[in-house]
Amino acid sequence: MTRTRSTLRRAVAWTLSALCLAALLPGAARADNPVVQHIYTADPAPLVHNGRLYLYTGRDEDGATYFTMKEWRTWSTTDMVNWTDHGSPMNLSTFSWAKADAWAGQAVERNGKFYWYVPVVNRATNRMAIGVGVSDSPTGPFRDALGRPLVENGEIDPSVFIDDNGQAYLYWGNPNLWYVRLNADMTSFSGSPTRIPLTAAGFGTRTGNPDRPTLYEEAPWVYKRNGLYYNVFAAQCCSEFIAYSTAPGPTGPWTYRGTLMPTQGSSFTNHPGVVDYKNNSYFFYHNGALPGGGGYARSVAVERFTYNADGTIPRLGMTTSGPPPVDVLNPYTRQEAETIAWGSGVETEPAGEGGMNVGWIENGDWIKVRNVAFGNGASTFTARVASGTSGGALEVRTGSATGATTARCTVPGTGGWQNWTTVSCPVNGLSGTQDVYFRFTGGSGYLFNVNWWQFTAR
């Protein structure tokens, strides 16, 4: 099998060498934003379910010169710093009627099923339409719930919201802002799509574009907090900034509340997603912060924030540090190798054993996993590995990717990149709660894959 890695991975590896130097400087921020480093991601949509935060995104293809998007991706975390890659549970071919443009959507849970609303080009009409994927699991796979668009008027960016009384709403639109009441089945609606009046009082005033007199551009994200309804949206174009409005009810009347995140970050679009998780509030967005990043090579990032006492949202800036951890990671249960705080040089792929594995590993690549709670100390490190060449070594380091080595497992050739075996090695001096770095070493070319890892306590 020929294994070729993307230009993005090489670029991240180079830039991380520079960031490591920066980290030695006093006061240097630890770079944990964007949340994913091995592919470009865009259009974040968070969802909390059963104590886990799931993140639904689009994917910008390497080298794209437009929003050339073919698949959606799912990620999850329990601590806001280590993110598990669940791969792509839905793509353009999920919708047989879709031609192109796997753009910004949102997923929601109802009665044990997960509904993911997404805009795509309808092949039959050549217009943007909104489809709905459904799954029994937050990580998919998703199938087309209808076999046709749910709604189509040439506009994009669905946001779904279920009110306390069970009434669900779908909002979407660029250049207009629409809503429709969804039925309890989440795949049909009552009444007709209705246009929300884009007034200056509701959505601010834009200058210099008579066709779009208010700031509303696209990407609505509608939710409710303490009885107040929020619509956070991408404002003005281009470059966009993030603004928001509030209302006493789900259909308005909306009052413009100003800027949430000013234009920043070398992507001319931005896209909001807001969620509460483990007693904190989080704002997801995207920028062009990864190497090679830009308007068509975006990356999802996240900031923690606190609402003001009157319910308004403070103005937020993009950071490279991101939020602090809200939980520890337990090394004494099996952890997926694709649970990553920061990865340098690696990629992921579906594993033959199920789930995903880390692959395309070369000498010097590494993965950081944050806030790992070793307690009184670990005695043994175990990893599930495969190698289509002659393997290498998997080192567990602390402090940095070149810090103290606490364990070193030799990985043999296994006769194939999906021929898995389990290796173990002794651990020395790993206790308390700290970040660990898995560093991969060996000869030239691809060394081995890693599916999961686990420590044994002393």
- Contacts to ligand FUB by CB under 6 A: 42-43, 58, 67, 103-104, 156-157, 218-219, 234, 269, 271
The Cα diameter of the chain in Å comes to 69
Q: Is 240 a catalytic residue?
A: no
CB of 164 to ligand FUB, least distance (A): 27
Nearer to ligand FUB by C-beta: 70 or 110?
Answer: 70
| 276 token code pair | 């509460």
**Residue 177: what are its φ and ψ, rounded to 5°?**
-125, 120
Asked whether 275 and 47 are in contact (CB, 8 A), the reply is yes
CB of 421 to ligand FUB, least distance (A): 41
Nearer to ligand FUB by C-beta: 269 or 299?
Answer: 269
Alpha-carbon gap, residue 84 to 80, rounded angstroms? 11
Question: From the candidates 43, 60, 144, 240, which is the catalytic residue?
Answer: 43
| DSSP string of 256-315, one letter each residue | EEEEEE-S-TT-S----EEEEETTEEEEEEEES-STT-BTTB-EEEEEEE---TTS----
CB of 157 to ligand FUB, least distance (A): 5
Nearer to ligand FUB by C-beta: 68 or 199?
Answer: 68
Nearer to ligand FUB by C-beta: 119 or 345?
Answer: 119
Residue pointed to by tokens 């990864």: 290
Question: From the candidates 85, 157, 217, 336, which is the catalytic residue?
Answer: 217
163 exposure class (CB count in 10 Å sphere: 0-12, 13-18, 19+): middle
CB of 362 to ligand FUB, least distance (A): 31
Q: Is 163 a catalytic residue?
A: no
CB of 53 to ligand FUB, least distance (A): 21
Residue of 389, 335, 379, 378 whose CA lies nearest to 358: 335
Nearer to ligand FUB by C-beta: 271 or 397?
Answer: 271
**Residue 7: what are its φ and ψ, rounded to 5°?**
-65, -30
CB of 245 to ligand FUB, least distance (A): 17
**How many residues are present in the chain?**
458
The answer for residues whose C-beta is within 8 angstroms of residue 4's C-beta and 6 or more apart is none
| DSSP string of 152-199, one letter each residue | ESS----EEEE-TTS-EEEEE-SSS-EEEEEPTTSS-EEEEEEEPP--
Nearer to ligand FUB by C-beta: 42 or 372?
Answer: 42
β-strands 356-359, 366-373 pairing: unpaired
Alpha-carbon gap, residue 202 to 215, rounded angstroms? 9
Amino acid (one-letter) located at 374:
F
Alpha-carbon gap, residue 247 to 197, rounded angstroms? 13
CB of 252 to ligand FUB, least distance (A): 21
Nearer to ligand FUB by C-beta: 43 or 347?
Answer: 43
Catalytic positions, written as ranges: 43, 217
